[in-house]
Amino acid sequence: MLISTNQFKNGIHIEVDGSIYRIIEFQHVKPGKGGAFVRTKLRRIEDGSVQDKTFRAGEKVRPVRTESRKMQFLYESGDTVVFMDNRTYDQIELPADLAAEALRWVQPNDEVEVLFVDERASEVQVAGAIDARVKQTEPGLKGDTASGGGSKPATLESGVEVQVPLFIQEGELIRVDTRSGEYVSRA
């Protein structure tokens, strides 16, 4: 089954020249003269590189089936990481570099989403914001209030360092945006 360029949507996966890509963005262009075309920005699944590609209007490509599964992060083993499917209890190993960005935010036994493209695990996704406990930070001083402004570094349980307001203490549970790495609020 093939899909036409007029069925493109952001986030779908397609196969082009034997490689699988995720459509980041696309734009239909109808110039004054000549045929219409579709300008796309694609991310290659194998290595994460972003490429610009232009398709003729109506050109057909093969869509790729994707599925997201909830899995539990079990442990790291050298250059691989091990996850367990929550429904079937099957364990899978993935290259550590495939999951490196997501693993900054998770601890063993935390739940993540693993994206499968044509039945192959291709990406590990964490929630947009997580709750994490502050493992180490400088103590707050008298007068450090929410309205006082300023920030200080804090190390989370996972080892990630984020900037937090001056009133946050060790042991507190905070909410952190995983996309930007910024403090959101107390949890």
Range of the domain at 182: 129-186
The pLDDT tens digits of the residues spanning 31-54 come to 888 888 999 999 887 777 889 999
Q: What percent of the chain has pLDDT over 90?
A: 9
Same domain as 110, residue 79: yes
Of 125, 145, 174, which residue is a domain's last? 125
Q: What is the rounded distance in angstroms from the CA atom of residue 125 to the CA atom of residue 94? A: 13
Same domain as 43, residue 26: yes
State mean pLDDT over 105-124: 82
Same domain as 159, residue 176: yes
Of 63, 90, 112, which residue is a domain's last? 63
Q: What is the rounded distance in angstroms from the CA atom of residue 60 to the CA atom of residue 42? A: 16
How high is the pLDDT of residue 148? 56
Same domain as 180, residue 150: yes
Same domain as 39, residue 11: yes
How high is the pLDDT of residue 26? 92
DSSP class of residue 96 equals H
The pLDDT tens digits of the residues spanning 82-98 come to 989 888 888 888 888 77
Strands of the 50-56 sheet, one edge to the other: 3-4, 60-63, 13-16, 19-29, 37-44, 50-56
How high is the pLDDT of residue 125? 80
Same domain as 120, residue 140: no
CB neighbour class for 42 (10 Å; exposed up to 12, middle 13-18, buried from 19): buried
Of 22, 41, 63, which residue is a domain's last? 63
Same domain as 156, residue 104: no
Q: Which residue type is seen at 162?
A: V
Q: Which of 173, 150, 172 lies closest to 163 in space, CA to CA? A: 150
Residue 66 has pLDDT above 90, yes or no: no
State mean pLDDT over 15-37: 88
As a whole number, the mean pLDDT across the chain is 84
Give kind and range of the element (H or E) at residue 123: strand 120-125
Same domain as 116, residue 105: yes
CA 68 to chain centre: 12
Same domain as 51, residue 7: yes
Question: The CATH number of the domain where 9 resides is what?
Answer: 2.30.30.30
Q: Is 28 strand, coil or helix?
A: strand
Question: The CATH number of the domain where 75 resides is what?
Answer: 2.40.50.140
Q: Quick one: tokens of 27? A: 């734009």
The pLDDT tens digits of the residues spanning 133-159 come to 888 888 766 555 555 567 888 888 878
Report if pTM > 0.85.
no
Same domain as 44, residue 8: yes
Same domain as 137, residue 111: no
Total of domains in the chain: 3
How high is the pLDDT of residue 149? 65
Same domain as 147, residue 116: no
